[in-house]
Structures are given as C-alpha cells and as structure tokens.
Amino acid sequence: MANLGVTVDGLKLPNPFIIASGPPGTNANVIGKAFDEGWGAVICKTVSLDASKVINVAPRYSRLRAEKSDEIFGWENIELISDRPFGVWLDDFRQIKDRYPDRVLIASIMEEYRKDAWIEIVQRCQEAGVDALELNMSCPHGLPERRMGSAMGEDPAILEEVCRWVMQAAKVPVWVKLTPNVTRIEDPSRAALRAGCHGITAINTIRCVMGVNLQTLRPEPTVEGYSTPGGYSGKAIRPIALRMCMEIAQVIRGEFPGRSLSGVGGIESGYDAAQFILLGCDTVQVCTGVMKMGYGCIKTMRQQLAEFMDRHKFKSIREFKGYSLKYFTTHAELVRLQASARAAEREADDVKTARPIGVADHEWRAEEFVRQSDALAAN
C-alpha cells in the first residue's frame, strides 16, 4: 500500500500536494477548507507589510479554451498579491494554527528591496506561528515600480542578497519561488541556494498576453477597454515547468545535496504530480487546478498518485523521487546511442525488423508532411 507521507526540510506532510500561493489561499476560511479536504500543506496568498497600494481590478482572469471541447487549458491572471492588511493576516495565521496545529502552514511573503522590511516581515510571520516561509521572487505583473516579485527574482545578484537578509532572521524553513521568465533557471536557483535557503519552488506564471477579442479589438482581460500583460498558468505550461524543475533538480543533486524542490505548473492530476516527483520534486503545488475544479480535487489526485505508486510497486515518495533524471542527456549522446543500436541490429542480421530511420531533410514531401510528422512522434 502506497504511503503518500513526506518529510521535507523537517516539515511533515500527510501527502505531497500543496495549495500554491494565490487565490485558493486568500484567507483563513479557504485555508481551513483546504485542510479539511486533505491537502498536505497550504501556502497563503502572498502578503506584504503595506497592502494599501494593492488594488485589484475586475475582470482579472482570461481563459484559453479548446475549440471543440471548450476545455480550459490556459489561464491568465492580472491579480496582485493580497490586499488584506498585514495585521489581519497575522491574526489569520494564529487562528489557523490554533485550529490545525498539526498541519503545515506556509507564509508567502514579498517586500521591496529594503533589508529592514524583509527582516520585519520574516520575524512577524514567524511570531504568528507559520511553519515555513516562501519568498515570492516571481510574480510577473503588478508593483514593478516597487521592485517586487520577478523584478527582483530576474536578477540573481539581488535575489541572493535578499535571501541572505532573510536567512539572518529565519528560524523556519525558507523556500524561494522562482520566475520562469529568465533565460537560465539554474542561475537564480544557485543564487538562492548559495544564500542558504532550504529549497526552491518552481515555477510561477509565465508573462503573457492571452489574446485579442476580434469583435471589440481589445486585449483580454479587458478593464475599461484596456489591459496589461499577466501571468499564464494551467496545463499548457506544464512542459515548461517540468523542464525547469528537471534543470533545478540536477543543480541540487550535483551542487546542493539535501536541498528541496517544490514543483508547480499545470498539475491537475496525481499522474501529473508523479511526473514532477520523477524529475526530482519533493512536493507539488496546485493553484489553477483548484480554481477550475475546487478543493475536493485533492481526493482524486491522491488516489491517482497512489495508483501510480502501487502499479510500479513504489511504497514511498522517496523511492521514486528523481528516478527519471538519469534518462536525460545531450543530443550528441542521443545520436551516438541510436547509431550504436542500429549498428548492433545490422550485426545481428535483423535488417527487416530494424527500427525505421528518421526522415532526412531532403526526404520531406509536402503531400505527406502530416503523415511523416506523425511517424516521428513518440506518442
């Protein structure tokens, strides 16, 4: 029987599924609902010391749907961090920990580029009883004039400096949530881990423009006729999140053994979660999936992950964490491996059953283009 329990950075979770920072963790009421439904941990919506400048608009979401099924596979938001006063959040943290003393509550925090502000928010959240901190260095929209979010996380030098400030005051585990809007995710990962942070969360949303309404000619979501770039999430970004988590996991394994990784991006099933864990994640986070399906989706996710584990005879998460990392290599090595396999087939005089050779550039035919493309696909 599969055991879904995990211990990460000393935090004991009944399962690896975490509510990601965002609307599903926006106050004590919904956080309590998440715990009641069985989520392994909850990260609150990002808080700051001064919420007075945080003013949200509506509509603030836009969704990309499949043409035939109407299924939502992409989601844009231009929502800001929490607009609730910091003191109210501290009361919420205490209330939640009183009601759920054995559950893991993580505070997502964001501040300006000021050491005293970061030290203060860390200390006050800890005093309110949170179990860990997640530094939001990754929100791709809103408050750029205050050098917050991805404006900070896109610069590894600044990110490392701020992380060092935080680690001076932190008495609980600290994760850093990274932006995917960079060329090499390994660079900010190394910066955060060099500073002493316990783990990485990846990824946040991808900066995007969802589309333009062809009737009104206005970009969406449209607010009083105008819009602004937002953050793209949902299952459409999962391949990008998987790639970046794989790259971060390799950095952790090679240079910072023992540090943790929490994967985020398009996770809507237990089978999605299994892929992130196979690529080195300790835990997985869900935000858009909850907004689409509700908090109760955790039950199906847990069942699916357990089914995957039972099928492969994995008794614990630890047994298959990072299992698939060994199967990544360079393109040059793929060429060598395939040439070696074909040579072995020829030596075995098995030409009739030898695997087909890929289409060379001069062999493509316009009238057969789709068929040739299908033949080269793995699934």
Q: How many CB atoms lie within 10 A of CB 187?
A: 16
Instruction: Give yes or no for a contact between 234 and 210, defined as CB atoms under 8 angstroms apart.
Output: no
Q: Is the peptide bond before 221 cis (omega within 30 degrees of 0)?
A: yes
Who's near 67: CB < 8 A, 6+ residues apart? Answer: none
- Residue 151 to residue 144: CA distance in whole angstroms: 6
Cβ proximity of 288 and 233 under 8 Å: yes
Q: What gap in Å lies between CA 125 and CA 288, rounded to an integer?
A: 26
How far is it between the farthest Cα atoms of the chain? 76
Rounded Cα gap, residues 22 and 281, in angstroms: 20
Long-range contact list for 98-101, CB < 8 A, 24+ apart? 99/32, 100/32, 100/35
CA-only gyration radius of the chain, Å:
23
Tokens of residue 250, six digits: 């390799």
The two beta strands, 283-286 and 17-19, are: parallel
Active site residues: 139
CA atoms within 13 A on the CB side of 145: 2
> Hey, what amino acid is at 199?
G
Virtual torsion, Cα 85, 91, 94, 97, nearest 10 deg = -70
- Burial letters for 273-312: b for 16+ Cβ neighbours within 10 Å, e otherwise? bbbbbbbbbbbbbbbbbbbbeebebbeebbebbbebbeee
Buried b (16+ CB within 10 A) or exposed e, 138-171: bbbbbbeebebbbbbbbbbebbbbbbbbbeebbe
